[in-house]
Amino acid sequence: MKIHKRLHEEGTKAILITLAFIVAITLVANWLWSTQTVWHYLLYAFLLTVLVLTVRFYRVPIWRKTTVVEDAVLSPADGVVAANEEVLENEYFHDRRRQISIFMSIYDVHINFFPFNGKVSYYKYHPGKFLLAFKPKSSTDNEHNTIILKDKKGREVMVRQIAGFVARRIVCDLQAGDEAVVGEELGMIRFGSRVDVFLPLDADIKVKIGDRTIGKETVLAVLR
2-12 pLDDT tens trace: 444 687 777 78
The pLDDT value recorded for residue 56 is 79
Considering only residues 206 and 63, tell me which one the structure prediction assigns the higher pLDDT: 206
pTM of structure: 0.81
167-193 pLDDT tens trace: 556 888 899 999 999 999 999 887 668
Q: 178: alpha, beta or left, given left = phi > 0 and alpha = psi -120 to 50? A: beta
Could you tell me what percent of the chain has a pLDDT over 70?
88
Are 115 and 75 in contact by the 8 Å Cβ rule? The answer is: yes
pLDDT higher than threshold 90 for residue 58: no
User: Using 50, 70 and 90 to split pLDDT, how confident is the model at 79?
Assistant: very high
pLDDT higher than threshold 90 for residue 53: no
The pLDDT value recorded for residue 30 is 85
Cα–Cα nearest to 164, from 208, 128, 213: 128
pLDDT higher than threshold 60 for residue 166: no
- Could you say which of 101, 138, 139, 193 is catalytic? 193
DSSP state of 142: B
Specify the pairing of strand 185-189 against strand 144-150: unpaired
98-115 pLDDT tens trace: 999 999 888 888 889 999
Are 185 and 209 in contact by the 8 Å Cβ rule? The answer is: no
* Amino acid (1-letter code) at residue 25: I
Range 76-81 average pLDDT: 95
Range 91-96 average pLDDT: 96
115 C-beta neighbours (distance < 10 Å), count: 28
Cα–Cα distance, 221 to 219 (Å, whole number): 6
The pLDDT value recorded for residue 184 is 94
Q: Provide DSSP, 36-61.
A: --HHHHHHHHHHHHHHHHHHHHTB--
Q: Provide DSSP, 86-130.
A: EEEETTTT-EEEEEEEEEE-TTS--EEE--SSEEEEEEEEE--B-
* Amino acid (1-letter code) at residue 219: V
Active site residue 193: yes
The pLDDT value recorded for residue 136 is 52
